[in-house]
Amino acid sequence: MMADGNMAEGNIGEGNMGKDNWLEAELRAQLRPVSAPAGLWTKIQSPGAVRRADSGPTRLLWPVIAVLMLLASVDLLWEFSKARGGLRQTTQPNPAELAALAASPEACDLYSSDPARLQKWVKSRSGIEIELPAHSSAVRITGARVATVRGTMVASLKFEAANDRSERGTVLVWKSGKSPVSRHGASMGVFGSKGASLEMVSWSQGENVFAAVAAEGASAREACLLCHPEGTHGI
């Protein structure tokens, strides 16, 4: 270890010995060694001192706590908003999105008219359980695909009416996120999509929401015949 005698090593400003001697002497005087105050050892031995010195991991813990608090706040807001029905609307597909999905030229992922096979395929891809009648003389399903709209899985079933016009349409099904309903009522509307006029009939059953969409003069109500061959209940 170095002793004060080694100060002579300093070669700073050797060309200006007058000034530097004065400055170095002043620095030595101003910065001279001092004695530590009494009682420091007691402080070091106190548990608080150890805790503070071990604050490294604690410091690392703060960001984690902050993130957790943020997540908790977001979750709280989410739950609050959900309770008021606010976010539900944003996470559920809106009519324009449904119409766009129904009008999408993309082909079916599964071509089949077998209701049991379609049910099983939709369940495996989207978790949506639908009941399709074994046979319908009025409407025939031709295929299905599954898409995601606003984070909601939507099953799309293409149907074809067995009338002389062979009207085609799409039944869209997604989980409502609400409590299952025991009965279903239907509502109908006409929406414009990319210049085309679309007819949409929607209803709820169980935990699912259904929307039948048909374009260019076809009737979306034909989809009702899938389960109600006796008629469309005056919709």
Question: Smallest distance from the beta carbon of 68 to another protein, in angstroms?
Answer: 25
**CA 70/CA 146 separation, integer angstroms:** 34
Nearer to another protein, 5 or 234 (CB): 5
Nearer to another protein, 49 or 76 (CB): 49
Task: Give the 3-state DSSP-derived string for the chain, with helices as H, strands as E and coil as C.
Answer: CCCHHHHHHCCCCHHHHHHHHHHHHHHHHHCCCCCCCCCHHHHHHCHHHHHHHCHHHHHHHHHHHHHHHHHHHHHHHHHHHHHCCHHHHHHCCCHHHHHHHHHCCCCCCEECCCHHHHHHHHHHHHCCCCCCCCCCCCEEEEEEEEEEECCEEEEEEEEEECCCCCCEEEEEEEECCCCCECCCCEEEEEEEECCEEEEEEEEEEECEEEEEEEECCCCHHHHHHHCCCCCCCCC
Nearer to another protein, 18 or 217 (CB): 18
Question: Smallest distance from the beta carbon of 70 to another protein, in angstroms?
Answer: 25
Nearer to another protein, 54 or 106 (CB): 54
Nearer to another protein, 21 or 148 (CB): 21
Question: Smallest distance from the beta carbon of 55 to another protein, in angstroms?
Answer: 9
Nearer to another protein, 50 or 74 (CB): 50
Contacts with another protein, residue ranges (CB under 8 A): 1-7, 9-13, 19-20, 22-24, 26-28, 30-37, 40-41, 43-45, 49-50, 52-54
Question: Smallest distance from the beta carbon of 64 to another protein, in angstroms?
Answer: 21
Question: Smallest distance from the beta carbon of 63 to another protein, in angstroms?
Answer: 17
Question: Smallest distance from the beta carbon of 26 to another protein, in angstroms?
Answer: 6
